């Protein structure tokens, strides 16, 4: 993976017109090819930060660089060619009558001829596994299908960077898993750099390379899931918790004095730790 920063954000402050300070003293960088998460409780500033990254919010103190250029000085076309934001609620994003028409809007607007548009739409729908829905009325889609149409709409424009606001919120457990698998595939196979906001602590360690924990408008910790998921008390301070499996092992280690050497974050990791510990115990 290259380590060039595609996004580099330094916000001194951003306040909404009603005076609410939504972000303050926030620094973060996103490297090319990363699949990273903004993890934070409700109100921690995730949506605000994504809107700044995409150039939708502009009246902040600080700088946001896209490939080294100040986003406020770029022509919107130069932003939307590279990067797009998927809103939390697909109904805020979708507007055309059919899936095809909605996904075609971006490439059409970019001036591609109809046959290139049709090809881009077909490839994008294929990428998100909904090729069969091309002719379907948007209003008849499930919530999860609508989320996929939103992502296809951005992919059809050739985005190299995807910003997603709570892409798994509102999906059932299988839908959550499939959405994360889809995003992983886009990241690994199509080299799309992905930044997603989420508050789902159980899911992220399975998929994300890097996490930035947001609390009260600041990034309070950043690193791999192993590095940022610290003790339960520290997680509670930022109104989050550990993944359930990590919480269980933490209690067994600290309250029951079982000799775990580390706190695993996933079921697979926990299984290995438990087997290793039993092995040590029987020797
Ligand atoms: N349009 C707005 N006007 C005033 N305050 C807002 C607005 N949108 C969000 N906020 C406030 O900004 C803070 C961050 O909100 P947000 O970025 O939506 O957090 P998150 O996405 O992490 O839930 C919260 O305190 C929220 O109440
Ligand atoms: Mg939000």
Whether 48 lines ligand 1, by a CB cut-off of 6 Å, is: yes
- Would you list the DSSP string of 181-208? HHHHHHHHHH--EEEEEE--TTTHHHH-
Confirm whether 200 is domain-assigned.
no
Summarize pLDDT for 225-251 with one digit per residue, the tens: 989 988 889 999 999 999 999 999 999
Q: In residues, how long is the chain?
A: 283
Tell me which residue of 127, 131, 128, 129 sits closest to 100, measured CA to CA: 131
Confirm whether 251 is domain-assigned.
yes
Confirm whether 283 is domain-assigned.
yes
Confirm whether 276 is domain-assigned.
yes
Whether 69 lines ligand 1, by a CB cut-off of 6 Å, is: no
Summarize pLDDT for 134-154 with one digit per residue, the tens: 999 999 999 999 999 999 999
Query: In whole angstroms, what is the distance from residue 130 CA to residue 132 CA?
Result: 5
Catalogue the long-range contacts made by 235-244 (C-beta closer than 8 Å, 24 or more residues apart).
235/201, 238/40, 238/41, 238/44, 238/213, 238/214, 239/41, 239/44, 239/215, 240/39, 240/40, 240/41, 240/199, 240/201, 240/213, 241/201, 242/201, 243/201, 243/202, 243/205, 244/202
| Total structural domains within the chain | 1
Query: In whole angstroms, what is the distance from residue 55 CA to residue 115 CA?
Result: 31
Confirm whether 269 is domain-assigned.
yes
Half-sphere CA count of 279, side-chain side, radius 13 A = 6
Residue nearest to atom 20 of ligand 1 (CA): 43
- Ligand index nearest the alpha carbon of residue 43: 1
Confirm whether 195 is domain-assigned.
no
Whether 215 lines ligand 1, by a CB cut-off of 6 Å, is: no
Residue nearest to atom 16 of ligand 1 (CA): 45
Asked whether the beta carbons of 186 and 27 are under 8 A apart, the reply is: no
Distance 167 CA to ligand 1 centre (A): 18
Q: Is the dihedral of CA 86, 5, 13, 220 positive or negative?
A: positive
Confirm whether 188 is domain-assigned.
no
Whether 158 lines ligand 1, by a CB cut-off of 6 Å, is: no
pLDDT attached to residue 280? 84
Distance 28 CA to ligand 1 centre (A): 19
pLDDT attached to residue 204? 82
pLDDT attached to residue 42? 96
Ligand 1 atom index nearest CA of 38: 22
Q: Which domain holds residue 272?
A: 243-283
Give all strands (DSSP E) within the chain, no chain letters. 5-15, 21-31, 35-40, 61-66, 69-70, 83-86, 161-165, 193-198, 210-215, 218-223
pTM for this entry:
0.93
Whether 40 lines ligand 1, by a CB cut-off of 6 Å, is: yes
pLDDT attached to residue 3? 61
> Ligand 1, from 17, 18, 37, 48: best to mutate by most atoms within 8 Å of Cβ?
48
Mean pLDDT for back-to-back runs of 10 residues, the chain (283 residues): 80 97 96 96 97 96 96 92 94 94 95 96 94 96 94 92 95 90 93 95 89 96 91 92 92 91 90 90 68
Residues at Cβ < 5 Å from ligand 2 ion: 46-47
Ligand 1 atom index nearest CA of 166: 21
Distance 60 CA to ligand 1 centre (A): 14
Distance 153 CA to ligand 1 centre (A): 26
Confirm whether 282 is domain-assigned.
yes
Whether 16 lines ligand 1, by a CB cut-off of 6 Å, is: yes
Residue nearest to atom 6 of ligand 1 (CA): 16
Name the 3-class secondary structure at 14. Answer: strand
- Ligand index nearest the alpha carbon of residue 240: 1
């Amino acid at each position: 993976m290259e380590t060039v920063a595609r996004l580099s954000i330094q916000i001194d402050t951003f306040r909404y017109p009603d005076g609410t300070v939504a972000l303050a003293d926030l620094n973060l960088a996103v490297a090319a090819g990363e699949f990273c998460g903004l993890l934070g409780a409700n109100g921690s500033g995730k949506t605000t930060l994504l809107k700044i990254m995409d150039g939708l919010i502009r009246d902040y103190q600080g700088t946001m660089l896209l490939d080294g250029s100040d986003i406020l000085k770029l022509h919107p076309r130069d932003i939307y060619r590279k990067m797009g934001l998927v809103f939390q609620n697909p109904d805020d994003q979708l507007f055309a009558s059919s899936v095809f028409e909605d996904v075609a809007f971006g490439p059409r607007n970019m001036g591609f001829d109809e046959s290139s548009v049709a090809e881009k739409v077909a490839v994008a729908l294929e990428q998100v596994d909904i090729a069969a829905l091309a002719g379907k009325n948007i209003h008849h889609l499930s919530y999860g299908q609508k989320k996929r149409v939103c992502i296809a709409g951005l992919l059809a424009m050739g985005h190299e960077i995807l910003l997603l606001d709570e892409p798994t919120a509102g999906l059932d457990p299988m839908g959550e898993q499939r959405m994360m698998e889809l995003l992983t595939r886009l990241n690994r196979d199509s080299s799309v750099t992905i930044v997603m906001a989420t508050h789902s602590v159980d899911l992220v360690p399975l998929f994300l390379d890097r996490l930035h924990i947001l609390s009260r408008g600041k990034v309070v910790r950043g690193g791999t899931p192993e590095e940022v998921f610290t003790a339960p008390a520290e997680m509670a301070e930022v109104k989050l918790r550990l993944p359930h499996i990590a919480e269980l092992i933490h209690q067994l280690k600290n309250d029951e004095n079982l000799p775990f050497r580390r706190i695993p974050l996933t079921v697979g990791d926990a299984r290995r730790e438990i087997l290793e510990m039993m092995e040590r115990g029987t020797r």
